[in-house]
Amino acid sequence: MLAFAILLLGYLGYIDVQANEAAALAARAAELDRNDPWAYVALGFAAFTERHTDESIAHFQRALNLNPNFAAAHGYLGWTLSFDGQSDKAIVHSQTAIRMSPHDPQQVIFHGGLAAAHYLAGRYDEAINSALSVLRFRPTFNGARRLLVAALAQAGRLEEARKELERLKDFQPDISLAWIEKNVPYTPRQMKSYLEGWRKVGLQ
């Protein structure tokens, strides 16, 4: 759980990402108990942040093999699949997580996975709606607002995209294309698609 907390806080921007430390903690957890699904969720999350998609998927699947009713494992697997452009599979797992645990605080991740999956499938209106669902629940979740900006731009709603970008800068004044490429773990082909939206809104 310490590994998971470090990774989540890093992704949300509250601390610097410490993937190596978290991965070591998660690996130690798995050594201590090979039947603990949380250990594999943490290992999967660590691999996801490093863009090691196949490894990440394998860890999340291991968690689900141990506990098929583990909503978080479905949600984070959906998230990983979405960032790799495997949109149809991502949507299945994200929706499963939402259905299994409708009041889960991690809903921001589950809906975020849906938003990314729809975006990369070119369904920008659905991506916008999913991102807005996240922001209604947690207005300070920068990942959802970033996705909203890019999706609005891709949908041709540039004035709205620019307004959302200004709101984002209140929380993340250092946002740039370089920051996105370094810190948002889309795989390379999907990153190109994601950056298209940002370029349309004028981010440099």
For residue 82, the tally of other CB atoms under 10 A from its CB is 27
**What is the enclosing helix (H) or strand (E) of 204?**
none
pTM, entire model: 0.91
CATH code: domain 107-204 is 1.25.40.10
Sign of the alpha-carbon torsion through 123, 50, 11, 172: negative
pLDDT tens per residue, range 93-134 = 999 999 999 999 899 899 999 999 999 999 999 999 999 999
Query: Which of helix, strand or coil describes residue 177?
Result: helix
| Identity of the residue numbered 197 | G
pLDDT tens per residue, range 37-53 = 999 999 999 999 999 99
Say what the alpha-carbon torsion angle 4, 92, 83, 138 is, to the nearest 10 degrees: -60
Tokens for 162, please give them: 């620019």
Give the model's pLDDT for residue 150: 98
Select from 122, 166, 126 the least CA-distant residue to 145: 166
Give the model's pLDDT for residue 9: 86
To 10 degrees, what angle do helices 87-100 and 107-120 make? 160
pLDDT tens per residue, range 11-26 = 777 777 677 889 999 9
